[in-house]
């Protein structure tokens, strides 16, 4: 029977499990959330900012504890887990310091004596987050939502319940102690009941496109505002004039982060024909030297995949790619780590493919480098945009003006030039096409779940 299960990806041992809450418990938590929202929305900017700063300081003080918990539940290398925690603290601090500026009254000059725009909270938002960044992806969406005065019911991934409980405790310790933020162990079948409630005013989801489509349908049925940040198959374009050492460094850093389980990581490596062979040679040499093993070892670059089913699916994608004509240049098989033989470890794979190959068409959630060639600039745009997804992208080139013009033609929510794609509290985060809609982070993320109200005084 399905439930929330914390299982070590290093040993595949079950650490702890939790049953789904009952329908009556869901109803009770929604009622508590309504009362929490009624309290939270009355706080002024200074009071909200103080709580957000408390949250940031608590995270910073206990950063190592939370990093160890993340690594325990999903196998992320400990240095990356620590980076995730510190990023969450900085996110809270950013909104604490900029909240009043973001939500200030916008005065508009009209023929009225006075006319202006204000942003009011909607109510309680149901947030559903995935396993791959169980700490950051809660804070990334929740902090903009709550900074405007909304409340949150947060459903973490089925496989990261311990992180979910730890985050709830953090919010309470920081002063969010009126149930304006609650962790909820709800089942997928309870989505309808939650969205149907008059006390739930929106849905925020980060995860797969398939799940996002179903969740968006239910939210739409009850006319609940929703944000969907879904899958990606990001292009990583290496132009003929690129600094190849930089290109390889960023390619590897992006693709093996969190064992490749990142929506916005580079997945399709589109390389100029002129420098293709040199790039592949440098990339292969670097990938062969990646340190794989126990994620609690600070020297390790690549830990296990978070779940065994993810490992099985990734291996199937690689096998199917080869059957379709893909050329496997390196890796793709299980990595057997002494003392951790039951762990979900895999060697990074480098595969030459064409545009129709499964690795170019589907999202791959693991350390797989799908390589494609291009000869002309108009060809690279076509290859990059030949995807159902539109989350992010990267361009490596010494000609910044040309790269900037190229970036404008790429159909994604963001494009980074000479840097790997990443999220930033100051900039909007989201995608287009089957990568979803809506934005998190920056003032755009704050406005998503607000009533943008016009006031006119004649």
What is the DSSP annotation of 368-414? EEEEEEESSHHHHHHHHH-SSEES--EEE-S-HHHHHHHHTTS-SS-
Helix-helix angle 244-256:276-288, to 10 degrees: 50
Which tens digits make up the pLDDT trace of 291-348? 999 999 999 999 999 999 999 999 999 999 999 999 999 999 999 999 999 999 999 9
Among all residues, which ones are annotated catalytic?
229, 263
- 152, 181 contact by CB (below 8 A): yes
Which pLDDT value is given to residue 2? 85
Closest CA to 182 of 196, 171, 193: 171
Model confidence band, residue 447 (pLDDT cutoffs 50, 70, 90) = very high
**CA distances in angstroms from 146 to 347, 382, 428, 432, listed in the order given:** 41, 40, 17, 25
Which pLDDT value is given to residue 291? 97
Is residue 422 in some structural domain?
Answer: no
Which pLDDT value is given to residue 292? 97
194 in the same domain as 64? yes
Is residue 312 in some structural domain?
Answer: yes
360 in the same domain as 300? yes
- 272, 238 contact by CB (below 8 A): yes
Token pair of 351, please?
């595969």
**Burial bucket for residue 372 (CB in 10 Å: 0-12, 13-18, 19+):** buried
Q: Global pTM? A: 0.96
240 in the same domain as 277? yes
Is residue 146 in some structural domain?
Answer: yes
Which tens digits make up the pLDDT trace of 2-11? 899 999 999 9
Chain Cα centroid distance, residue 288 = 27
**The domain containing residue 328 runs over which residues?**
235-417
- Report, as an integer, the average pLDDT of 112-130: 98
For 186-306, list the strands marked E by DSSP: 200-206, 225-229, 234-238, 266-272
215 in the same domain as 245? no
| pLDDT score of 437 more than 80 | yes
Which pLDDT value is given to residue 454? 98
Which tens digits make up the pLDDT trace of 13-67? 999 999 999 999 999 999 999 999 999 999 999 999 999 999 999 999 999 999 9
Which pLDDT value is given to residue 102? 97
Query: Domain with 79 in it: what CATH number?
Result: 3.40.605.10
135 in the same domain as 9? yes
The domain total for the chain is 2
- Report, as an integer, the average pLDDT of 408-413: 98
Which pLDDT value is given to residue 378? 86
| pLDDT score of 1 more than 80 | no
Which pLDDT value is given to residue 254? 98
Which pLDDT value is given to residue 250? 98
Which pLDDT value is given to residue 169? 98
- Report, as an integer, the average pLDDT of 338-366: 97
- 176, 183 contact by CB (below 8 A): no
Phi, psi of 270, rounded to the nearest 5 degrees: -105, 110
Beta strand 450-457 pairing with 416-417: unpaired
Is residue 427 in some structural domain?
Answer: no
Is residue 110 in some structural domain?
Answer: yes
Which pLDDT value is given to residue 82? 98
| pLDDT score of 208 more than 80 | yes
167 in the same domain as 40? yes
115 in the same domain as 36? yes
- Report, as an integer, the average pLDDT of 207-222: 97
- Report, as an integer, the average pLDDT of 77-84: 98
> Where would I find the H helices in 41-189?
45-61, 63-74, 78-102, 136-147, 161-174
Q: What percent of the chain has pLDDT above 70?
A: 100
449 in the same domain as 395? no
Which pLDDT value is given to residue 377? 82
Beta strand 114-121 pairing with 181-183: unpaired
């Amino acid at each position: 029977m399905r439930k929330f299960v914390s299982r070590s990806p290093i040993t595949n041992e079950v650490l702890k499990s939790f049953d789904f809450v009952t329908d009556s418990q869901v109803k009770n938590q929604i009622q508590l959330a309504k009362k929490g929202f009624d309290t939270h929305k009355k706080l002024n900017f200074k009071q909200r900012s103080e709580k957000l700063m408390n949250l940031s300081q608590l995270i910073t003080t206990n950063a190592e504890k939370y990093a160890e918990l993340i690594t325990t539940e999903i196998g992320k290398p400990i240095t990356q887990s620590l980076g995730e925690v510190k990023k969450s603290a900085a996110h809270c601090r950013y909104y604490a310091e900029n909240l009043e500026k973001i939500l200030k009254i916008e005065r508009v000059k009209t023929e009225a004596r006075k006319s202006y725009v204000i942003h009011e909270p909607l109510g309680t938002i149901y947030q559903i987050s995935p396993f791959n960044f169980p700490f950051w992806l809660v804070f990334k969406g929740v902090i903009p939502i709550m900074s405007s005065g909304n409340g949150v019911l947060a459903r973490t991934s089925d496989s990261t319940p311990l992180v979910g409980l730890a985050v709830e405790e953090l919010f309470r310790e920081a002063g969010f102690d009126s149930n304006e933020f609650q962790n909820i162990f709800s089942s997928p079948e309870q989505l309808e009941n939650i969205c149907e409630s008059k006390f739930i005013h929106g849905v925020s989801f980060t995860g797969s496109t398939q799940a996002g489509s179903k969740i968006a349908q239910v939210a739409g049925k009850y006319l609940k505002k929703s944000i969907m940040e879904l899958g990606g198959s990001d292009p990583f374009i290496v132009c003929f004039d690129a600094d190849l050492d930089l290109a390889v460094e960023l390619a590897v850093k992006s693709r093996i982060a969190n064992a490749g389980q990142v929506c916005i990581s580079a997945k399709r490596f589109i390389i100029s024909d002129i420098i293709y062979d040199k790039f592949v040679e440098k990339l292969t040499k670097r990938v062969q030297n990646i340190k794989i093993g126990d994620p609690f070892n600070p020297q390790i670059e690549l830990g296990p995949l978070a779940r065994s089913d993810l490992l099985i699916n990734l291996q199937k994608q690689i096998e199917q790619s080869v059957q379709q004509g893909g050329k496997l240049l390196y890796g793709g098989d299980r990595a057997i780590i002494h003392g951790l033989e039951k762990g979900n470890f895999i060697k990074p794979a480098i595969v030459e493919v064409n545009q129709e190959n499964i690795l170019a068409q589907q999202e791959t959630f693991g350390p797989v480098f799908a390589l494609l060639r291009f000869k002309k600039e108009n060809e690279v745009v076509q290859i990059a945009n030949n995807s159902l997804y539109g989350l992010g992208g990267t361009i490596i080139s010494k000609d910044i003006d040309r790269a900037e013009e190229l970036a404008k033609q790429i159909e994604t929510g963001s494009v980074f030039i000479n840097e790997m794609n990443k999220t930033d509290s100051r900039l909007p985060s989201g995608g287009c096409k089957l990568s979803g809609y809506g934005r998190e982070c920056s003032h755009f993320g704050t406005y998503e779940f607000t009533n943008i109200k016009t006031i006119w005084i004649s």
